[in-house]
Chain A
Amino acid sequence: MSEMRAPRAPINRRALGRALSRIADASVSDALAVLEGDSHNAQVWRCGITGPAGVGKSSLVGRFVNARLSHARRVGVVAIDPSSPYTQGAILGDRIRIDAHGDDAELFVRSLASRRARDGLADNIANVLALLEEHDFDDVIVETVGAGQSQYEVRELVDTLVVVLMPGAGDMVQAVKAGILETGDIYVINKADRPGAKEMVAEIASVLRHPDGAEGWMPPVVLTSALAGDGVAELDAACEAHRAWRARHIDAESARQQRRRAHVRALVARRLAEVIDSSDNTLWDADVASAYHAVVAGLGFPGS
């Protein structure tokens, strides 16, 4: 699986760290200004890791990253934690579990706060991922905020979406059935040592929607223990299988269109937040329809 390649320039952590801040902090008009055509690099594999809070996403990402690095791949990770809606403050603690040793030359980890985003992602995440792709990574992995039933925006931004669940969480299957359980390419039941883990694998497998036709992708359900490292090789193999399936069955142009659509949707959502957050309180004296039209009129940039 590992390919021979010419020695690469080392990751310039300082420069990339700064560039990521510039794009993460950019207003919508600034973000649009730095977009260079269509920046999606189809050679890069983008993987999303999502699932409810507390299922062990970060620990699993840490194990998974090591598996990817062992194939001589250069890995960039974006880990997102929630911002306080009141102070904008955040504790970004995922990376403790992702790069515990922090000495791998081929790994770069960046923590992001969700800021205005309410979809389990972060402001300008599409631009952030595109920027990482331009920096010679083989894999770009994004770990979402602990996500529940309806936060599946990440689906459209990645090639492979891994949904992580755990046993013993009561109604978790019920809770996720209609939301992220329809969006995953691979399901992981983490904390395999807990009672009910194997039963949960069967339960999830039984509710997954089967693909149309024999060529469709049937999401596997993988049992892991991020703590012990069990099942991580199986997860890695499932990801490789999905990558190979995509290469055969997903048309690159329609994938690009889907990603552009998600990118534009994210930009418009942020622009809407900018307009509403900066609006004068008198706007809300008007009736709903008038306020709506005023907000929509404000979405375009001055002079545009």
Chain B
Amino acid sequence: MANQLQGKRILIAKPGLDGHDVGAKVIALALRDAGAEVIYTGLRKTPDYIARVAAEENVDAVGLSILSGSHLELVKLTAQALKREHADDVALFVGGTIPRGDWDALKASGVDCVFDSEMTLEQVVDEVARRLA
């Protein structure tokens, strides 16, 4: 991977109650190795907190990692919170255990791209870079 994300700032956040952040950390490291400055929130953050951090850190993208099954609700709440912070122009990505059948509903809530476990890290980085170009 070249430094294709150099100069980009990306927030990786874990909303909701699931306690597994290995995937979020792997993605955070891959984005860093592609040159991005990655802010990681830690586990169990509220949509309001995530939106506040996105605004303070002036990130180019927010990536949500959700394994709890509550992705439809959490994404909708996060998109609303970003709007309240006037940060709804920030790109929104979602990854985790997201059934394909829910992708369209997520995109309707404001998600720019959904990542699943079938994708390689290289594909994820390429897609993020393409969306932020």
Give me the interface of A with B, judged by CB distance under 8 Å.
Answer: 13-14, 16-18, 20-21, 25, 83-84, 87-93, 95-96, 100-103, 108-111, 113
Contact = CB atoms under 8 A, between A and B. Distances in A.
Contacts of B53: 95, 102
B71 interface: no
Contacts of A14: 55, 85-87
Contacts, number: 82
Contacts of A102: 45-46, 48-49, 52-53
A109 B49 CA distance: 12
A83 B32 CA distance: 9
Nearest to A90: B37
Interface string B22-66: 000000110111111111111001101100110111100000000
Q: Is the interface of A mostly helix, strand, loop or mixed?
A: mixed
Q: Is the interface of B mostly helix, strand, loop or mixed?
A: mixed
Nearest to A115: B37
A83 B5 CA distance: 13
Interface of B: 3, 5-7, 9, 28-29, 31-42, 45-46, 48-49, 52-53, 55-58, 85-87
Contact of B55 (A13, A88, A89): A13
B37 A89 contact: yes
Given A13-B85, A90-B32, A102-B52, A20 B37 contact: no
A17 B6 CA distance: 19
B56 A92 contact: no
Interface pairs A-B: 8 shortest CB-CB: A89-B32, A17-B58, A102-B49, A13-B55, A21-B58, A96-B42, A14-B86, A14-B55
Contact of B39 (A16, A88, A95): A95
B25 to A, nearest CB: 9
A22 B36 CA distance: 17
Given A13-B85, A14-B85, A96-B42, A89 B56 contact: no
B124 to A, nearest CB: 15
Contacts of B45: 102
A17 B58 CA distance: 5
